Amino acid sequence: MAKATKKQALGRGLSALLKETADVNSAEDKNADKLVGNIVEISIDSIDVNPFQPRTYFDEEALRELASSIKELGVIQPITVRKLESNKFQLVSGERRFRASKLIGNKTIPAYIRLANDQEMLEMAIVENIQRKNLDPIEVALSYQRLIDEINLTQEEMSIRVGKKRSTITNYLRLLKLDPIIQTGMRDGFISMGHGRALINVDSTIDQLNIYEKILRDKLSVRQTEELVKNLKAGTVTKTAKKKALPKYISESVKGMSEYFGNKVDVTVNNRGKGKISISFTSEEDFNRIKNLLK
């Protein structure tokens, strides 16, 4: 009984706090100190998702596992939000915790509240996400590229902001020069960043893809891949013969199709113009995703 009374008192306190801070939009506003920088249990319905979220893919199974943990233990680490007008908030970081909490029907979530303009919001979101351990190399690379394109940070400035060596940042950015099929393979965990760094040194996209397929087929290590690339550049191995050129109307479309499906698309065509389209997939979940795209 005492537990229920405590919960009701907390609810009244939260309501009063949000009423007092409804007009807080800057650190100089009255009552800003009661809200900004504090951890407050706020309504999930009052939170908008982060339009600057660097993460583009959320594994459904991992979300369900997190939701189960939250159901048992609660949200251990508060999310971070920025305050908008009235009592609306916007996510800065913690979208997985936010999504998982919604998944199990939670009505509130603990949040660390900040104030920021759009540019500061974008920078905070990107920098905080870069610090996380579970981003794949391409997500990190895209985050660095956004800091360059949208915040106008130099690599030297980024090095200071994220606490990484400039050479580390450069190595991530170079991954974006790889063929989209190889980038997708890295995002899906088929190859590591080390494999990707080795493949960057191959100028020909066709050779890149041929080596990528050999890595998958023969389960090559990073060291073996580096040796293969070294021999290729030295001319001590025979380059894989190029496939018969596809008609222009097909070759111009294959790359776009691969990017659309997020998987490699192969097209074969005979001399009479008849052919087949093959779309690779990596799991049941990936197959269902592709199936939905075909509807």
| Residue-by-residue DSSP string for 259-270 | HHHTS-EEEEE-
Measure the CA–CA gap between 54 and 262, rounded to whole angstroms: 17
Question: Is there a contact between 207 and 179 (Cβ–Cβ < 8 Å)?
Answer: no
Name 82's bridge partners.
90, 114
Please tell me whether residue 59 adopts helix, strand or coil conformation: coil
- Of 28, 60, 61, 95, the active-site residue reads 95
Query: 185, 281 in Cβ contact below 8 A?
Result: no
Output the six-digit token pair for 61.
Answer: 């199974």
**Strand ranges inside 174-291, DSSP E:** 265-269, 275-279
- Cβ 211 vs Cβ 231: under 8 Å: no
Active site includes 252?
A: no
Determine whether 163 is exposed, middle or buried from the number of CB atoms within 10 Å of its CB (0-12, 13-18, 19+): exposed
Are the beta carbons of 80 and 117 closer than 8 angstroms?
A: no
234 vs 227: CA distance, rounded Å: 10
CA-wise closest residue to 112 among 82, 87, 86, 132: 82
How far apart, in whole angstroms, are the C-alpha atoms of residue 178 and residue 204?
Answer: 10
So which residues are the catalytic ones?
95
